[in-house]
């Protein structure tokens, strides 16, 4: 109990409050800018947190992530350009409302739904993470090795249409993650005699390069290749009923919000699925169960609520696998995991034992971030809307230069800037060729832990090849890994055949139509 009170008191210390608030505000602002998302924002701002206490740093980054999730809805609603992938479903109903001058009402619905989903999932995280972590403590190296193998397999499917390319990207990430000092011999490995690689590649330059710099390279194509993009002016109605959201309008959709939150929690708690899945799933369910289906896609507040409650609920729930098992379920959490490690903590079940006070402080910060999101959104909505108007010629040089200096900040080393540029270049090619940089990054982060678990298994088992057969949980997880691989390949083959049959049918139909036409 003392720990809980001390942790919560830490969370409400002035510094912590200020940085959580700042994180949420920056997150909303950044999320509102099309092309910049939560994980990218975390990558850019992790270097800034080097100089903060662990609680302040994590609180700031969590606030940033939560803010960015809502911020994504701003550009989705106002421009039909989702700031983040998970806000795509929000755009379907948000933008038609903007066209009717009701953009502010749509944004208010998005805000309240986001806060509701986020708050519910944070409460679920607080209630279930610690008991689950206590169970997870019984897991040994064999189970951890099997679990990371499973996570890597599931994650290989994210961010690409091809499991082959996903696995290649994850394997490449693992290879790059192994550069540095080998844990058993303590000798350099895969350093190619470059002394700066002796301690391995830092997460920050790699993440900034892959997430931020490569994204900017893509975004800038619009300017250097297409000569810039113009957007229509946004007009808000001055009528009060078009601007404000009544209690009746909000509570009419409460069932949808609760369903969306539960879907978000379920999806977020499972590694590899991510917020876009939750958002689309919830939207689909809301549409199927709605009494006014015909309004979906034309400006339905229910549609916005479904999408936003689900994608925001993923934020809290996705921390469950991180806190319980030490495995990041999505990109934003992978970045947070990196931040934990930078501040000297290894996410996982032991955190509740070793850093209990900090964990309760983080819980406090998570709840505060929800509250701040509500306040900032409620009173600053109109100002954040202006973020979508920042001209690219001003915004992008700032982001490019921030990438450069962010990479430099960690070790005050220009070598890291070079690493950032290299991974920006690799990331650009990965995106263009449909290789998952998400799988790469998670492979990169998990590689050392995976290898450590393997080394422990080999040493403890004294080279017993059948070690896994003596550990039922580990065996079950390895069997599940194999099942996931086989099932994914099978689905790929099935989808390919289906596509091919459809094409052949189309060709046959077209040929028949031409034949009939000639006959006439």
Footprint of another protein on 196-235 (CB under 8 A): 216-218, 220-221, 223-225, 227-228
Which x/- pattern over 22-41 shows residues binding another protein (rule: CB under 8 A)? --------------------
For another protein, the binding residue among 138, 247, 379, 433 (CB under 8 A) is: 433
Query: Of residues 450, 467, 474, 478, which one binds another protein by CB under 8 A?
Result: 450
CA atoms within 13 A of residue 84's CA, in its CB half-sphere = 35
Look-up of token digits 């100002």: 383
Query: How far is residue 129's CA from residue 118's CA, in Å, rounded to a whole number?
Result: 16
Of the candidate spans 101-109, 366-374, 398-406, 473-481, the one that interacts with another protein by CB under 8 A turns out to be 398-406
Which stretch of DSSP H or E encloses residue 180? strand 180-181
Phi/psi at 152 (5° precision): -65, -35
Question: Closest distance between another protein and the C-beta of residue 107, in Å?
Answer: 22
Q: For residues 146 and 170, which CB has a smaller minimum distance to another protein in the complex? A: 170
Question: Residue 234 or residue 421: which is nearer to another protein going by CB?
Answer: 421
- The neighbour count for residue 244, using CB atoms within 10 Å, is 11
- Pick from 369, 447, 372, 477: nearest CA to 125: 369
Name the nearest CA neighbour of 439 among 211, 205, 207, 160: 160
Whole-number minimum distance, CB 80 to another protein, in Å?
14
Of 248, 394, 518, 519, the one binding another protein (CB under 8 A) is 394
Q: CB of residue 71 vs another protein: minimum separation in angstroms?
A: 16
Return d(Cα 282, Cα 309) in angstroms, integer.
Answer: 9
Positions in 97-136 near another protein (CB under 8 A): none
Determine the Cα–Cα distance for residues 179 and 333; give it in Å rounded to an integer.
23
User: How near is the Cβ of 487 to another protein at its closest, in Å?
Assistant: 17
Report the site for another protein in 369-388 (rule: CB under 8 A).
Answer: none
Question: Nearer Cβ to another protein, position 228 or 380?
Answer: 228
Of 314-322, 351-359, 451-459, 471-479, the window that binds another protein (rule: CB under 8 A) is 451-459
Residue whose CB is less far from another protein, 70 or 112: 70
Residue 244 Cβ, how far from another protein at the closest point, in Å? 32
* Least distance (Å) between residue 481 CB and another protein: 13
Nearer to another protein by Cβ, of 221 and 241: the residue is 221
Q: How far is CA 286 from CA 248, 261, 280, in A?
A: 18, 12, 10
In the complex with another protein, the residue whose CB is nearer, 165 or 471, is 165
Q: Is 404 exposed, middle or buried (0-12, 13-18, 19+ CB in 10 A)?
A: middle
The interface mask with another protein, positions 403-432, x = CB under 8 A, is -xx--xx--x-x--xx--x---x--xxxxx
- The nearer residue to another protein, 105 or 165, going by C-beta atoms, is 165
Q: How far is the CB of 502 from another protein (least distance, A)?
A: 10
Among the candidate windows 5-13, 108-116, 347-355, 503-511, which touches another protein by CB under 8 A? 503-511
Distance from CA of residue 34 to its chain's centroid? 16
| Tokens 């409620």, residue located | 378
Q: Which residues 319-378 are close enough to bind another protein by CB under 8 A?
A: none
Q: To the nearest whole angstrom, how small is the minimum distance from the Cβ of residue 432 to another protein?
A: 5
The one-character DSSP state at 233 is P
Q: How close are the terminal C-alpha atoms of the chain, in Å?
A: 87
The residues in 459-488 that bind another protein, with binding defined as CB under 8 A, are 459
Complex with another protein: residue 138 or 192, whichever CB lies closer: 192
Long-range contacts of 425-431 (CB under 8 A, 24+ apart): 425/209, 425/214, 425/217, 426/209, 426/210, 426/214, 427/209, 427/210, 427/211, 427/213, 427/214, 427/215, 427/217, 428/214, 428/217, 428/218, 430/169, 430/210, 430/214, 431/214, 431/218
Site for another protein in 286-315 (CB under 8 A): none
Residues 6+ apart with CB under 8 A from 474: 140, 142, 143, 145, 146, 468
Q: What is the 3-state secondary structure (H, E, C) of 335-391?
A: HHHHHHHHCCCCCCCCHHHHCHHHHHHHHHHHHHHHHHHHHHHHHHHHHHHHHHHCC
Assigned token pair, 148: 């990371």
| β-pair type (188-189, 180-181) | antiparallel
CB of 362 to another protein, least distance (A): 24
The nearest distance, CB 118 to another protein, in angstroms, is: 21
Q: Which is nearer to another protein, 276 or 338 (CB)?
A: 276
Nearer to another protein, 189 or 255 (CB): 189
Single out the segment in contact with another protein by CB under 8 A; choices: 319-327, 355-363, 467-475, 492-500. 492-500
DSSP category for residue 188: E
461, 467 Cβ separation under 8 angstroms: yes
Pick the binder of another protein from 59, 260, 272, 276 (CB under 8 A).
276
CB of 298 to another protein, least distance (A): 22
134-193 residues near another protein, rule: CB under 8 A: 158-161, 164-165, 167-168, 170-172, 174-175, 178, 182, 184-185, 187-193
Q: Are the C-beta atoms of 28 and 67 separated by less than 8 Å? A: yes
505 makes contact with another protein (CB under 8 A): no
* Binding residues among 35-94 for another protein as defined by CB under 8 A: 48, 50-51, 85, 88
């Amino acid at each position: 109990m003392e720990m809980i009170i001390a942790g919560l008191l830490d969370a409400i210390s002035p510094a912590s409050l200020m940085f959580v608030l700042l994180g949420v505000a920056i997150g909303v602002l950044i999320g509102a800018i099309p092309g910049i998302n939560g994980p990218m924002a975390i990558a850019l701002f992790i270097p800034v947190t080097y100089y903060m206490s662990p609680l302040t740093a994590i609180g700031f980054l969590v606030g940033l992530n939560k803010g960015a999730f809502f911020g994504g809805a701003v550009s989705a609603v106002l421009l039909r350009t989702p700031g983040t992938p998970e806000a795509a479903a929000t755009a379907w109903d948000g933008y038609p409302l903007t066209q009717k001058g009701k953009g502010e009402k749509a944004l208010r619905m998005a805000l309240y739904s986001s806060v509701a989903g986020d708050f519910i999932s944070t409460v679920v995280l607080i209630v279930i993470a610690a008991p689950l972590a206590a169970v997870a403590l019984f897991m040994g190296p064999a189970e951890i090795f099997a679990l990371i193998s499973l996570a890597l397999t599931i994650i290989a499917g994210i961010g690409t249409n091809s499991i082959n390319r996903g696995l290649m990207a994850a394997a490449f990430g693992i290879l790059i993650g192994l550069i540095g000092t080998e844990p058993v011999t303590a000798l350099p490995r895969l350093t190619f005699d470059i002394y700066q690689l002796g301690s391995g590649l830092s997460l920050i330059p790699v993440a900034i390069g892959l997430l931020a710099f490569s994204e900017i390279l893509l975004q800038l194509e619009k300017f250097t290749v297409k000569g810039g993009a113009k957007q229509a002016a946004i007009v808000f109605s001055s009528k009060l009923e078009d601007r404000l959201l009544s209690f009746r309008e909000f509570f009419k959709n409460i069932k949808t919000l609760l369903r969306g939150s539960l879907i978000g929690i379920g999806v977020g708690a499972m590694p590899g699925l991510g917020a876009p899945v939750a958002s689309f799933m919830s939207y689909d369910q809301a549409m199927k169960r709605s009494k006014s289906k015909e309004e979906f896609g034309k400006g339905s507040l229910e549609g916005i609520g479904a999408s936003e409650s689900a994608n925001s609920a993923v934020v809290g729930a996705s921390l469950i696998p991180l806190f319980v098992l030490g495995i990041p379920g999505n990109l934003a959490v992978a970045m947070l995991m990196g931040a934990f490690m930078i501040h000297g903590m290894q996410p996982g079940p032991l955190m509740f034992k070793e850093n209990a006070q900090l964990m309760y402080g983080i819980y406090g910060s998570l709840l505060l971030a929800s509250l701040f999101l509500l306040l900032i959104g409620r009173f600053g909505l109109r100002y954040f809307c202006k973020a979508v108007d920042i001209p690219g010629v001003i915004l992008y040089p700032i982001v490019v230069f921030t990438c450069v200096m962010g990479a430099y900040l960690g070790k005050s080393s220009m070598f890291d800037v070079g690493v950032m540029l290299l991974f920006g270049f690799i990331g650009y090619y990965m995106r263009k060729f449909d290789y998952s940089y998400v799988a790469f990054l998670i492979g990169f982060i998990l590689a050392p832990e995976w290898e450590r678990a393997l080394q422990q298994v080999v040493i403890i088992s004294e080279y017993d090849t059948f070690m896994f057969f003596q550990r039922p949980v580990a065996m079950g997880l390895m069997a599940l890994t194999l099942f996931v691989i086989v099932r994914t390949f099978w689905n790929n083959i099935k989808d390919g055949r289906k596509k091919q049959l459809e094409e052949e049918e189309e060709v046959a139909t077209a040929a028949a139509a031409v034949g009939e036409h000639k006959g006439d």
